[in-house]
Chain A
């Protein structure tokens, strides 16, 4: 699944490790989500959306 996580992270000047820290996951998890190798669960997708103050559909695109 494609997503805008990397762009949103860059806009806030966060490293993968810093984002991982805020989501309480490993840096490898953030890297895997950004590169589309891991699709987050709904709870994690909601945490990501809340952190970036956006809707899930604004971050993740299942049709791309």
Chain B
């Protein structure tokens, strides 16, 4: 007997245009929300009593997690939990989960690192941090990301690789256009100083949007 989800499972449940618009709008809202949360938090932190700063940073961190989850849900990257998954696909997904765990671990270490001045070690700012914390986080990030990237590259299938390549190309184009334009405008004091983390977030968001669109549902 034919299974209910058998023939047309996941085929064109929504048109390419609708998906593209949905992913584009969700990514724009995600970036705007991220910017708003960080801007408000950094502004409020300047005048806030030290006892309240940890609470504010926790609220901001929770809001970032919520909007990131909403954005990922709009990208349709999850699959039904009861469908069979090929071993290499499972390994590739495990690497992605590991990357999220790595990001969470870095955040936890950042906030739990011993120190007196909470406001100055806020993760979502460019404020100075202790050298010991910087070294520990940089080592964890570099080693963890090398492991993740190699593990991911080894286990993705050819369709996933083609989708990733499209995302990388789009992200590189945007970087190649934005970075020099920003640098030129910055030299004329027309825009604020170039912020590497803003550029990183923009490029990574665009990469994820193109990658998930090309990957399909």
Contacts and interface: CB of A to CB of B under 8 A. Distances in A.
Nearest to A29: B159
Interface in B117-165: 157-160, 162
B2 to A, nearest CB: 6
B63 to A, nearest CB: 30
A5 to B, nearest CB: 11
Given A32-B216, A34-B11, A13 B6 contact: yes
Interface residues of A, number: 28
Taking chain B's interface residues, is the majority helix, strand, or loop, or is none over half, making it mixed?
loop
B86 A24 contact: yes
Contacts of A27: 10, 79, 83, 85, 89
A25 B89 CA distance: 6
Interface residues of B, number: 27
Contacts, number: 83
B10 A29 contact: no
Interface in A1-30: 6, 9-10, 13-18, 20-21, 23-29
A26 B152 CA distance: 14
Contacts of A15: 3, 5-6, 9, 83
B86 A13 contact: no
Interface of A: 6, 9-10, 13-18, 20-21, 23-29, 31-35, 37-38, 40-41, 44
Interface of B: 1-3, 5-7, 9-12, 79, 83-89, 92, 157-160, 162, 215-217
